[in-house]
Structure 1
């Protein structure tokens, strides 16, 4: 598995829903971006990134090129269609159209893939701690009429043991919900270890989502599989994509 270019979510999505997460493997980039870097904003060679994106689309058998967002750690949600502008500034996207590939990039932040159990709507979410705290999950679920019928896959993100944050981050989450205290354990020098997976699950449950899968990887620790900004600083980006067929 260590050299596999793609991860396929293990979840009971409807038959017409396709979902995939990339790893760092299977591309042509070199050095700190080796090898399947999909980010064109990290100073990698533009031609190599374009080739990596072509390979990603081909390997995943996508019906069209992924719709790449300009991610800013915010809460904006782009509603995609076949005529969408591909450079929307947003941290989540949602679509009801077949063949439109909702996509987010990450390298420690949490990617979430969503679909309804009828297979009529999908979404992709980029949730770093700031977007997660500010409500990007809630903003995305607002586009679904029945959150209790939504399935969510938590893609590869940094684990609690590797994710150190300051007390202001913990305070911001607890200020939103006292339950968030359960997602932090005390670290060194007045720092805290934050559990992004648990924080996301808490927000999802609060919105009525009952069906949550994934959340078992660590981008920081599994260096053979994933890029990690926390681990390496200058590095590549993975993608998580979902679409209807």
Structure 2
């Protein structure tokens, strides 16, 4: 398991990939790999085995609990500390101040963003597709946090050359943040553009005082040996981005 470097002491951040040493065999070629999502028509027992193995990977660092969400491309962000939720709550952002509580977000082209404060006492994990970024998942997560986030990490997402969108998507962003005009390149087809999720996220984060931004240099679509990609194959698995405060 590879963790992000350059963060406050005691904070662990990373993202799973297609390969894992204890991946379960898949009955379908499309879901081959370390899938962690229950909503992609995979065998739920297989998925739960993968989640348990991930928890076992974290146990030596003091993780006792993992929280997953039913993600809906919303702007809902929730704080979870000691409570145990036996049913997945809907939303696309999680915040915790509890040590040993891993926050999990699933993606397969959308942008995972992890936030944290300078003291290493509070972290957040959010799922940011274009809808979430445009409608305020970053802003709502910052509001939900009790302390000011001072750093961010951007996990693997689809890169600009592979992410074609319509003019209505570009207009949604640029009406809210005119500075984002430079995050879009005109496509070959009329009314089509290529959107840079990383550039969009960086600008929004910087507008909210977060200048220390790590990551943002991968492509889920092109790096097919490492990441699942919904745009590459609609029937595919999901990676998980994680963050936790060690005990």
TM-score normalized by the length of structure 1: 0.93
Q: Deviations over 1:152-181 (max 9, x none)?
A: 000000000100000000000001011111
Residue in 2 that maps onto 1:238: 239
Residue in 1 that maps onto 2:47: 49
Residues in 1 aligned to 2:155 and 2:136: alpha-carbon distance in whole angstroms: 18
Kept after mapping to 1: 8 A contact 2:95/2:145: no
Q: Does 1:87 align with 2:88?
A: yes
Structure 1 runs of 4+ with >6 Å offset: none
Residue in 2 that maps onto 1:39: 37
Kept after mapping to 1: 8 A contact 2:4/2:12: no
Q: Does 1:129 align with 2:123?
A: no
Residue in 2 that maps onto 1:8: 3
DSSP 3-state at the match of 2:169: helix
Of 86-95 and 211-220, deviating more is 86-95
What value does the CA root-mean-square deviation take over the aligned residues?
Answer: 1.4
Residue in 2 that maps onto 1:28: 24
State the shift of 1:8 in Å: 2.0
DSSP 3-state at the match of 1:232: coil
| Paired positions, count | 238
Cα gap change, 1:243 to 1:194, in 2 (>3 Å): same
Kept after mapping to 2: 8 A contact 1:22/1:240: yes
Residues in 2 aligned to 1:195 and 1:84: alpha-carbon distance in whole angstroms: 37
TM-score normalized by the length of structure 2: 0.92
Residues in 2 aligned to 1:167 and 1:132: alpha-carbon distance in whole angstroms: 16
Unaligned runs of 5+ in 2: none
Kept after mapping to 1: 8 A contact 2:102/2:242: yes
Residues in 2 aligned to 1:189 and 1:158: alpha-carbon distance in whole angstroms: 20
State the shift of 1:130 in Å: 0.2
Of 18-27 and 81-90, deviating more is 81-90
Q: Does 1:118 align with 2:114?
A: no
DSSP 3-state at the match of 1:81: coil
Unaligned runs of 5+ in 1: 1-5
State the shift of 1:64 in Å: 2.5
Cα gap change, 1:38 to 1:78, in 2 (>3 Å): same
State the shift of 1:128 in Å: 0.3
Residues in 1 aligned to 2:78 and 2:144: alpha-carbon distance in whole angstroms: 10
Residues in 1 aligned to 2:239 and 2:53: alpha-carbon distance in whole angstroms: 13
Of 228-237 and 187-196, deviating more is 187-196
Of 59-68 and 110-119, deviating more is 59-68
